Structure 1
């Protein structure tokens, strides 16, 4: 995988009070299980209704309880944090605060997680503006195992 330089794509992390979202679209519970397996070694904490909770091995355990509980998976990458809230089975979504991505170090850690998830699922992973999945900044292309910064 070629290295994407922070200087070339720092504009994706402009600070305007919104987050950046990371998506894998059109997912199934099997994809979620692969996701949990892939990120389990990176996890800093998991919470149910704000209380520490062990990471389930099956996504179905999370989604079966989602009507009555709030599940949060947190990954800390240096000063940057990624959060996954398990909104829907059909889409894996994580968020990051762009103000926490200030150097090549944090950026590389994020790109590594995109590549880890994309490789484990064999699926493209995109980083977008918050709640705007069509406003794509960065793509992990699973077919080519490569990361691209999307310029105008």
Structure 2
């Protein structure tokens, strides 16, 4: 994990009340405009650095695996099997980020803000965003659920931008 950059972020109470408000919705992590190579790098990155639970219909008898199989995902996309159930849970300390492999063009994950209960949990999430941006050499954003335009954090390498009012 990279050290956290010296950015000006709000205090924990503000983050808990805004970004991590447990309002019943999720928060999304996006890497936009991705290629299959980006997906392969993401899969290698999370398999190597984080605990993972991966489940895919038609793979391993449906039993969970501790690593994501990139070839299986590629074959699924090639076959147009969008409806297969595929879920990867990436564990960021106490926080679980879920990836469903919806489309090749965006890496999208979600997390439950109620799981981010402490400043240490927030630091785990932020470190993941920084590590992910660095590993892929792409911008990573944390947004409101299903709202790419409602950005809370914009991460480019070790540069972290907090947006206090993400709504358009």
TM-score of the pair, normalised by structure 1: 0.88
CA displacement at 1:89 relative to structure 2 = 0.3
Aligned to 2:163: 150
Bigger radius of gyration: 2
Residues in 1 aligned to 2:110 and 2:82: alpha-carbon distance in whole angstroms: 21
Aligned to 1:21: 28
Residue ranges of structure 1 left out of the alignment (5+ in a row): none
Partners of 1:24 and 1:123 within 8 A in 2: yes
Q: 1:71 aligns with which of 86, 100, 111?
A: 86
Q: 1:82 aligns with which of 88, 92, 97?
A: 97
CA RMSD of aligned residues (A): 1.9
TM-score of the pair, normalised by structure 2: 0.80
Residue ranges of structure 2 left out of the alignment (5+ in a row): none
Hey, which bits of structure 1, 4+ residues long, moved more than 4 A? none
Aligned to 1:6: 12
Partners of 1:19 and 1:129 within 8 A in 2: yes
Pair 1:51-2:63 in alignment = yes
CA displacement at 1:61 relative to structure 2 = 3.8
Residues in 2 aligned to 1:61 and 1:42: alpha-carbon distance in whole angstroms: 24
Closer, same or farther in 2 for the Cα pair 1:68/1:132, shift >3 Å?
closer
